[in-house]
Amino acid sequence: MLETVPAIAPRRDGSIEQLSLSVERFVRESVVPFEKDPRCGPHGPSDELVQELRDKAREAGVLTPHIRPDGTHLSQRDTAEILVKSGLSPLGPIACNTMSPDEGNMYLLGKVASAEQKTRFLDPLVSGRARSAFLMTEPAEDGGAGSDPSMMKTLCEPEGDDWVINGRKTFATGAAGAQVAIVMAKAPEGAAMFLVDLPNPAIRIERILNTIDSAMPGGHAVVAIENLRVPQSEMLGRPGEGFQYAQQRLAPARLSHCMRWLGACIRAHEIATAYACSREAFGKLLIDHEGVGFMLADNLIELTQARLTIDWAADILDTGALGVAESSIAKVAVSEALMRVADRCVQVMGGRGVTDDTIVQQVFREIRAFRIYDGPTEVHKWSLAKKIKREHLQGGGK
């Protein structure tokens, strides 16, 4: 249990508290034993393992727990309670269907998709029977969109009742093995998003990138899009509003990353604490050496601060605000704090911390990547600095 880190404040809705406890119990008892399964590879767990875990989650009543049976999404604050618990294992979000990019894609489709699109594309995701990909980022060698989406090179042009899309994408997480893709492209009116069934002969995976992280099924793909023909009925929303939809998706998705990886770092902290409380050196337990005990104390402080930051940003989003600045603040603060936590866990465990005997080294690798994914720390700080300058000048510059 999570004795070492204060729990999120109890919610008025007791069913959410009970659901979060059920998710935690399921992850600890049913998912953790699969962490050494040979079907977990450098590009994530196999789809066979994904479905096996999801079948177990379905049986336990904790599959897609952040979406109610009527299709509505939990509040961000309640989602935090669920996703932190699902993140206690790197496989937890995969089993519970709260992982990226599916969780963010489900959120966006729930907000923007038509009734027909929800039936065709959203329902299979919510049921856990399908995975999805979000194709926005483009290769640097093409001069395409990365942290600056206005640089998008992928184009879509109307042709009769269809749109024809051409371009390349990279870091298309989960594209290998996905059944649904959201493709972002530049239309004459501005950015647009399209829903596409996968596999599709016009979407070709060039290669799977070898990255420092390994938690996502299908890994991260470089994808070529060649004369992809999509009917108008499969455009998500309206042309020219793609960046607006991306912002609706990205702000809560950044926060969801914080939630899941907070859970992973809580677990890593538990493992490091257990090691320090059992391993002896120089005549006493490691934790009794200030150099080790203080590192674990710093972990407790930063885990608590991370949780409070997530709750604060979630409350902002729950007002209906876009929360762009707040999600940037949370993403930077939480990812940087969790990097320090994961690093201390490795250090406390010494040689064992860099082996795969525990998940600590994987959590370290995943968090290092998290500092870049969904916007590097420096880009978020740059955006916040622009906001500071703008508000200062609007206030008269005094």
Q: Is residue 2 part of a domain?
A: no
Task: Give the mean pLDDT of 329-333.
Answer: 97
Task: Give the mean pLDDT of 348-352.
Answer: 97
DSSP 233: G
Q: Which residue has the tokens 């699902």?
A: 86
Domain-ending residue, one of 99, 126, 153: 126
- Do residues 261 and 229 both lie within one domain? no
- Please give the share of the chain, as a percent, with pLDDT higher than 70: 96
Mean predicted lDDT score pLDDT of the chain: 93
Q: What is the CATH number of the domain that holds 40?
A: 1.10.540.10
Tell how strand 220-231 and strand 203-209 pair up: antiparallel
- Do residues 63 and 101 both lie within one domain? yes
Among 88, 92, 97, 28, which residue's Cα sits nearest to residue 264? 88
8 Å CB contact between 172 and 139:
no
Q: Would you call the peptide bond into 101 cis, given omega within 30 degrees of 0 as the criterion? A: yes
Among 31, 83, 99, which residue's Cα sits nearest to residue 60? 31
Range of the domain at 98: 14-126
8 Å CB contact between 48 and 39:
yes
The whole-number pLDDT of residue 133 equals: 97
The whole-number pLDDT of residue 14 equals: 67
State both tokens at 46: 């196999």
Q: Is the pLDDT of residue 186 over 80?
A: yes
pLDDT in tens, 93-140: 999 999 999 999 999 999 999 999 999 999 999 999 999 999 999 999
- Do residues 194 and 251 both lie within one domain? no
Whole-number Å distance between alpha carbons of 320 and 305: 24
Task: Give the mean pLDDT of 355-371.
Answer: 97
- Do residues 54 and 174 both lie within one domain? no
- Do residues 359 and 326 both lie within one domain? yes
Task: Give the mean pLDDT of 79-83.
Answer: 97
- Do residues 18 and 72 both lie within one domain? yes
The whole-number pLDDT of residue 259 equals: 98
- Do residues 368 and 247 both lie within one domain? yes
Q: Is residue 8 part of a domain?
A: no
Q: Is residue 6 part of a domain?
A: no
State both tokens at 86: 């699902």
Q: What is the CATH number of the domain that holds 140?
A: 2.40.110.10
Q: Is the pLDDT of residue 9 over 50?
A: no
Task: Give the mean pLDDT of 178-183.
Answer: 97
Task: Give the mean pLDDT of 322-331.
Answer: 95
Distances (CA, A) of 258 to 5, 80, 329, 358, 386: 16, 9, 11, 21, 23
State both tokens at 204: 């070709």
- Do residues 285 and 169 both lie within one domain? no
pLDDT in tens, 190-225: 999 999 999 999 999 999 999 999 999 999 999 999
Helices (DSSP H) in 171-319: which residue ranges? Answer: 242-276, 290-317
Q: Is residue 271 part of a domain?
A: yes
pLDDT in tens, 238-297: 888 888 888 888 889 999 999 999 999 999 999 999 999 999 999 999 999 999 999 999
8 Å CB contact between 144 and 151:
yes
Number of domains in the chain: 3
- Do residues 250 and 340 both lie within one domain? yes
3-state secondary structure of 322: coil
pTM, two decimal places: 0.93
- Do residues 233 and 259 both lie within one domain? no
